[in-house]
């Protein structure tokens, strides 16, 4: 049975609004997705009926909230094929990468190598720069081919006896390229390296099994997964998390504290200092429940049809340059328009009710790789429709006429 986007979008209250007198066409889900009523209601219900701090209390509200918080951890674990104790809650994908990079500092020596790629989000670049500056590691960069694919031959050539860490996007937020995570992990492990995947985009558009991929670490954020902001997930193999030192100090992450000595809790609580994002975790759990109840294969096919519809309608537009056309890519359209700055394109599209992203998308090395200073980006989600795809093309054509 075909995926019914109209039925699904009815569950997203914000999609009923208008912008500048036009129906909202929200094509910025790669930056942050909208929230279904199930998520909104789960967080509201927690605040209205069972809110208290977690783990520390013995009263009814504390126990109910702790149960809901830890249930969210179990849901996140099941969602990616992990064990419950391998799921660390963070405040986002960015903090998850920083946690791993900080924790690996003691394992690296001057001259050890960290392999990244030109398509990485800044969140998977800057923490490794920090680590390089702290311990003298060397950053190696996997090139991106003209179609937006990762250069796998170059990747293989970069792996060597000094490679200690490989940190790569599972799916590019700019190009839509879906990288072959299982093969990348296998090659990294053959070189003796640990591998981390930034899954913030991929987790939304395809099922992920971290055990099948054999990822050592996998990170994703809640707000792109139809959940709230302020919550992220770090998966780490149990034996690796056990080897990492605490990332922050405070309550909850300790075993015992005396005036002279501190012992630390076991993972995952070792990495969750202080009061955690309780309501956000509950919201993430609701988002996972909601998304898991959908036909994810049908969703992927629906998103791809929307992308193809737009590409076909724009096939003769010589004023448009598309960035990233790798085979099997996700439904992300990054582009530049001849004679127009991406910011101006986005602002004019907004007058037609169409929301897209514009700028460097936190991927400046990738922008330079393709010889542009910025681009506009339309990203399609399960709640977008064919009518919205057409509205986007129509608005884009009118925008181009403004600059012609």
Tens digit of each residue's pLDDT (9 = 90 or more) over 112-156: 999 999 999 999 999 999 999 999 999 999 999 999 999 999 999
Percent of the chain scoring above 70 in pLDDT: 100
Residue with the larger pLDDT of the pair 335 and 2:
335
Question: Quick check: is 362 catalytic?
Answer: yes
Tokens, residue 99: 């946690």
Spatial contact of 7 and 358, defined as CB atoms under 8 Å apart: no
**Cα→Cα distances 250→63, 85, 242, 322, 394, Å:** 21, 20, 18, 48, 54
Tens digit of each residue's pLDDT (9 = 90 or more) over 41-59: 999 999 999 999 999 888 9
pTM recorded for the entire structure: 0.97
| pLDDT grade for 404, boundaries at 50, 70 and 90 | confident
What mean pLDDT is predicted for residues 329-334? 98
What mean pLDDT is predicted for residues 56-75? 95
Q: Are strands 18-19 and 22-23 parallel, antiparallel or unpaired?
A: antiparallel
Query: What pLDDT, on the 0 to 100 scale, is given for residue 191?
Result: 98
Please determine, for residue 1, whether its predicted confidence score (pLDDT) is greater than 70.
no
What mean pLDDT is predicted for residues 352-376? 98
Asked whether the bond before 268 is cis by omega within 30 degrees of 0, the reply is yes
Cα-Cα-Cα-Cα torsion 27, 30, 32, 33, nearest 10 degrees, comes to 60
Tens digit of each residue's pLDDT (9 = 90 or more) over 222-274: 999 999 999 999 999 999 999 999 999 999 999 999 999 999 999 999 999 99
Burial class (CB in 10 A: 0-12, 13-18, 19+), 340: middle
What mean pLDDT is predicted for residues 68-88? 98
The candidate with the shortest Cα–Cα distance to 175, out of 389, 377, 382, is 377
317/278 Cα distance (integer angstroms): 48
What SS3 state is found at 367? helix
Please determine, for residue 2, whether its predicted confidence score (pLDDT) is greater than 90.
no
Query: What pLDDT, on the 0 to 100 scale, is given for residue 237?
Result: 98
Residues 6+ apart with CB under 8 A from 2: 298, 302
Query: What pLDDT, on the 0 to 100 scale, is given for residue 56?
Result: 80
Computed on alpha carbons and rounded to an integer, the radius of gyration of the chain in Å comes to 22
Query: What pLDDT, on the 0 to 100 scale, is given for residue 174?
Result: 98
Q: Can you give the residue ranges of every domain in the chain? A: 5-28+295-403, 40-292
CATH class of 40-292: alpha beta
296/346 Cα distance (integer angstroms): 30
154, 265, 362, 372: the catalytic one is: 362
Query: What pLDDT, on the 0 to 100 scale, is given for residue 3?
Result: 84
Which CATH number is correct for 5-28+295-403, 3.40.50.11810, 3.90.1150.10, 3.20.20.70, 1.10.10.10?
A: 3.90.1150.10
Q: What is the mean pLDDT of the chain?
A: 97
């Amino acid at each position: 049975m075909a995926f019914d986007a109209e039925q699904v979008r009815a569950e997203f209250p914000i999609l009923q609004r208008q912008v500048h007198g036009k129906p909202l066409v929200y094509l910025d889900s790669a930056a942050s997705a909208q929230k279904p009523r199930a998520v909104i209601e789960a967080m509201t219900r927690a605040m209205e009926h069972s809110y208290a701090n977690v783990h520390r209390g013995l009263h009814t509200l504390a126990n109910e909230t702790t149960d809901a918080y830890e249930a969210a951890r179990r849901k996140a674990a099941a969602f990616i094929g992990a064990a419950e104790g391998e799921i660390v809650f963070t405040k986002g994908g960015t903090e998850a990468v920083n946690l791993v990079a900080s924790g690996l500092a003691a394992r690296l020596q001057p001259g050890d190598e960290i392999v990244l790629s030109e398509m990485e989000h800044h969140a998977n670049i800057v923490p490794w720069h920090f680590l390089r500056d702290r311990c003298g590691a060397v950053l190696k960069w996997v090139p991106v081919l003209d179609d937006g694919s990762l250069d796998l031959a170059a990747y293989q050539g970069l792996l060597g006896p000094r490679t200690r860490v490989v940190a790569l996007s599972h799916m590019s937020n700019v190009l839509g390229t879906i990288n072959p995570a299982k093969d990348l992990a296998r090659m990294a492990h053959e070189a003796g390296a640990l591998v981390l995947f930034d899954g913030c985009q991929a987790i939304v558009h395809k099922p992920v099994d971290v055990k099948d991929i054999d990822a050592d670490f996998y990170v994703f954020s809640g707000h792109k997964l139809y959940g709230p902001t302020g919550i992220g997930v770090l998966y780490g193999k149990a034996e690796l998390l056990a080897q990492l030192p605490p990332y922050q100090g405070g309550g909850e992450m300790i075993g015992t504290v005396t005036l002279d000595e501190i012992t630390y809790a076991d993972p995952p609580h070792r990495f969750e200092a202080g009061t955690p994002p309780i309501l956000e975790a509950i919201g993430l759990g609701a988002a996972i429940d909601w998304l898991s109840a959908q036909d994810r294969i049908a969703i992927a096919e629906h998103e791809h049809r929307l992308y193809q519809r737009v590409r076909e309608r724009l096939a003769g537009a010589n004023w448009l340059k598309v960035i990233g056309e790798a085979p099997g890519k996700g439904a992300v359209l990054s582009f530049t328009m001849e004679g127009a700055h991406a910011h101006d394109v986005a602002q004019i599209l907004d007058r037609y009710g169409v929301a897209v992203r514009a700028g460097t998308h936190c991927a400046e090395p990738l922008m330079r790789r393709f010889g542009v200073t910025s681009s506009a980006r339309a990203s399609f989600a399960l709640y977008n429709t064919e009518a919205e795809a057409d509205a986007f093309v129509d608005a884009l054509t009118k925008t181009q006429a403004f600059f012609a």
